[in-house]
Structure 1
């Protein structure tokens, strides 16, 4: 985690140094800012401006001082629980470490606990699901790398559990482990949690809070010079036709002669996923039954690009299967493989 720490007193500066040393041992990258004469970096800007800059650049901010100072500093920059960094406040003696903002998704609860361990103080966690020992769907999603389809659904799940009502828990993938109290695989229940790569849930599950694992590999083949818009249109159509959530995409794969193909490179950048390529001789060794094209083999050296690239990549990720075979769209071919995956409770 990239963390900025700021303090305002001599005692706070000493605590700041201790926190930076302790957090750095856990792999965090820390910058400390403090008053003139301290061993810390100067702020060189009003606190409000400094805070706005840190909100854009850092994953966590630790204020060492009064809670009111932190609240006023961060107030203009709050965007949402899926966007705000973790914010923690400690008094300058380190007696209390308060998780102030983004407790689950941002990791402030964990950061507050670690800071308290370093300072020898008490972590102050006010999240109800934590204090009552209940399942926290947003924390579960973060720990498992799952996309949350509707942030407003988190409140419904937590409220039901805290009020003693059962919540449905369903998955298109194997579930390993014992479900926490209040979660039931029998159903239907409302509200409920559903883990899937589907874009649209239907029937009794249509109102479930959808959690999406990032486990799909997109295989792409195309003619030289095909535009980004044409490739994206093809991919969008396939995802729609097969009811696949775009947030499930983890990697884009193709043959190495396409490694600098502008349209595919732009597509991967658009989805925020890596683009990997393989030589024809590697793709030719992919195991399975693939759609074959003599024309494609003449041009690329292998009879199929998109299917073989998708399955080659998913095998490197630990194994999986080809879910969508070659789908041609105006000079673009699209396939999709899904990694073997299970829900570990």
Structure 2
């Protein structure tokens, strides 16, 4: 389960359930599979697809244990569920030069908690190219095992949407907003889920990638549709 998740850009919400799923399969028991995200390929033996997301007539025939792929990490499709969550969040960030990683961690953690977002959904960090060598952001991305991508001011200007511009930021960086534009651009023009949040010389925005264009695969790699 964990290998499948890693190859398909998914995070395991409750790692303790991986052993439950694997143990049942090794014992020859059927395990259910439900996904909000499109999937392709052949399901492994003993993995039973469930297409009805609501409680219905087939509920009594469902396996007791199952895998659920959904951004909603608490969807109770099976009594015993292993949740796999798409890494669909892009964190756009701006900060003062030399900002310590600990300050970035505190700020980001607070925002995630306030907005009810699970940190395991973070897919990448993004910023303006001038921050490419910013140690604090690099260390935060490394600790979370996600890439840190940067865009030139001209590229950020092309981000679609309406943003909270700042004349000071534009004069200093070359574009009126960094965190929101970087988040949207890094998410592939996704939804700006969390608008600019500022504090302690740090600005953070979060965009959600549209996973409807993504397809998980039971082959060796995940593939874009």
Pick the TM interval, shorter chain. Answer: 0.7 to 0.9
Per-residue deviation at 1:219? Answer: 0.4
5+ residue gaps, structure 1, are 1-136
Tell me how far apart the structure 2 counterparts of residues 212 and 150 of structure 1 sit (CA, whole Å): 10
Alignment of 1:238-277 (within 5 A): 238-277=111-150
TM-score (norm 1): 0.50
Find 2:20's aligned residue among 144, 156, 159: 156
Tell me how far apart the structure 2 counterparts of residues 203 and 329 of structure 1 sit (CA, whole Å): 37
- Are 2:172 and 1:299 aligned? yes
Tell me how far apart the structure 1 counterparts of residues 193 and 104 of structure 2 sit (CA, whole Å): 19
TM-score (norm 2): 0.73
Equivalence for 1:323: 193
Q: Secondary structure at the match of 2:108?
A: helix
- Are 2:195 and 1:332 aligned? no
Find 2:32's aligned residue among 156, 167, 173: 167
CA 1:250–1:344: 2 relative to 1, 3 Å? closer
Tell me how far apart the structure 2 counterparts of residues 259 and 140 of structure 1 sit (CA, whole Å): 31
Alignment of 1:141-290 (within 5 A): 141-158=5-22, 159=24, 162-164=28-30, 167=32, 169-171=34-36, 174-177=37-40, 180=43, 182-186=48-52, 187-188=54-55, 190-197=64-71, 201=74, 208-290=81-163
Q: Greater relative contact order: 1 or 2 (C-alpha under 8 angstroms, separation 6 or more)?
A: 2
Q: Deviations over 1:152-203 (max 9, x none)?
A: 3134335279334x625143xx3245884522132456433222345x5267
Per-residue deviation at 1:138? Answer: 4.4
Per-residue deviation at 1:205? Answer: 7.6
Matched-pair contact (CA < 8 Å) for 1:197–1:245: no
Q: CA RMSD in A?
A: 3.1
Matched-pair contact (CA < 8 Å) for 1:157–1:167: no
Tell me how far apart the structure 2 counterparts of residues 308 and 247 of structure 1 sit (CA, whole Å): 22
Per-residue deviation at 1:300? Answer: 1.9
5+ residue gaps, structure 2, are 56-61, 218-225
Alignment of 1:58-207 (within 5 A): 137-138=1-2, 140-158=4-22, 159=24, 162-164=28-30, 167=32, 169-171=34-36, 174-177=37-40, 180=43, 182-186=48-52, 187-188=54-55, 190-197=64-71, 201=74
Rg (Cα) greater in structure:
1
**What is the aligned length?**
202
Per-residue deviation at 1:234? Answer: 1.1
Q: Secondary structure at the match of 2:162?
A: coil
